[in-house]
Every structure is written in structure tokens, then in C-alpha cells.
């Protein structure tokens, strides 16, 4: 599959140059310009290279930690059923948690229920930060 890095670079320059008036909070689901990435890193899709993400941790007005969602059915320890986004089942890709600037956030889709969010948060910690027994 060919990736359009040149097109993404132009979009990324525009995103970086814009003033963002977006206000976000933990538990919210947003369409986010993740772009074109390297290897197995989660890409955005469509003309703006966007993908829904869940805001996991708000650091300040401008930055957060987010986990991307996919509508492709996935199973296993690196995936978590997160409910629906725009009427489609969504799965969080736990291994793809990343730092996001609010300039990448396009529009809010919804908010995860608190119990689902808490379970998602724990799953992220388990997959990414717990040491495995040798």
C-alpha cells in the first residue's frame, strides 16, 4: 500500500499554522488528524487522514494523551471494545496510545461512559506499562 506522505505533509503544515479554539476533556471521543505514519503505526483515513480517538489524559489546554479507535473488528490483549462511534462498533488500539496536540482535533463525536472509560484506562495501563513475567 502506497502512503501519500506528501499530501499529509501539506495538511500537517496547515494544522500547525492554525489557531485552535478546541476545548477537550478526558473521556471524549474526537475525530483527529493522525496523518500518515511509519510502518505499523496507526494512520488516519480519508482526505484529512483522520481517525476517532479517545482522550485518555489531559495535560493542559493544548495537549493530551489519546488512544486511536478502529471500526475493524479486532480481538486480543491489545484491543478494547469501546462502544460505538457514528453508529459503528469501535475498538481501541491499546498499543497505539500517543501524545496529541489539540490542533489535530477536528470535531467531538461523543463521550465514553465512565465505567467503560475506567476499564479502557486500566487496559491501557496493563498492556503498556505492566512488566511481564519472564
Helix (H, G, I), strand (E, B) or coil at 121: helix
How would residue 44 be classed by pLDDT, with cut points 50, 70 and 90? Answer: low
Domain ranges of the chain: 5-128
Which residues, 6+ apart, have CB-to-CB distance to 101 below 8 Å? Answer: 62, 63
CATH of 5-128, one of 3.40.190.10, 3.30.930.10, 2.30.30.110, 1.10.357.10: 2.30.30.110
d(CA 69, CA 67) in angstroms, rounded, equals 7
How far are the Cα atoms of 6, 63, 115, 131, 133 from residue 58, in angstroms, in the given order? 30, 6, 18, 25, 31
Answer whether residue 39 shows pLDDT above 70: no
Which residues, 6+ apart, have CB-to-CB distance to 47 below 8 Å? Answer: none
How would residue 132 be classed by pLDDT, with cut points 50, 70 and 90? Answer: confident
Lowest-pLDDT range of 44-53, 66-75, 85-94: 44-53
Tell me what the pLDDT averaged over the chain comes to: 85
pTM attached to this predicted model: 0.85
pLDDT (0 to 100) of residue 4: 66
What are the phi and psi torsion angles at 16 (to 5°)? -65, -30
Helix (H, G, I), strand (E, B) or coil at 42: coil
Amino acid at each position: 500500500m502506497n502512503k501519500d506522505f506528501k499530501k499529509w505533509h501539506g495538511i500537517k503544515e496547515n494544522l500547525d499554522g492554525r489557531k485552535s479554539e478546541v476545548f477537550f476533556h478526558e473521556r471524549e471521543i474526537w475525530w483527529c488528524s493522525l496523518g500518515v505514519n511509519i510502518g505499523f503505526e496507526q494512520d488516519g483515513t480519508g482526505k484529512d487522514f483522520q481517525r476517532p480517538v479517545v482522550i485518555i489524559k489531559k495535560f493542559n489546554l493544548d495537549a493530551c494523551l489519546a488512544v486511536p479507535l478502529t471500526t475493524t473488528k479486532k480481538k486480543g490483549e491489545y484491543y478494547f471494545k469501546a462502544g460505538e462511534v457514528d453508529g459503528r462498533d469501535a475498538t481501541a488500539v491499546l498499543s497505539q496510545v500517543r501524545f496529541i496536540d489539540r490542533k489535530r482535533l477536528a470535531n467531538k463525536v461523543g463521550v465514553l461512559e465512565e465505567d467503560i472509560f475506567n476499564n479502557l484506562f486500566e487496559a491501557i495501563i496493563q498492556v503498556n506499562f505492566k512488566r511481564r513475567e519472564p
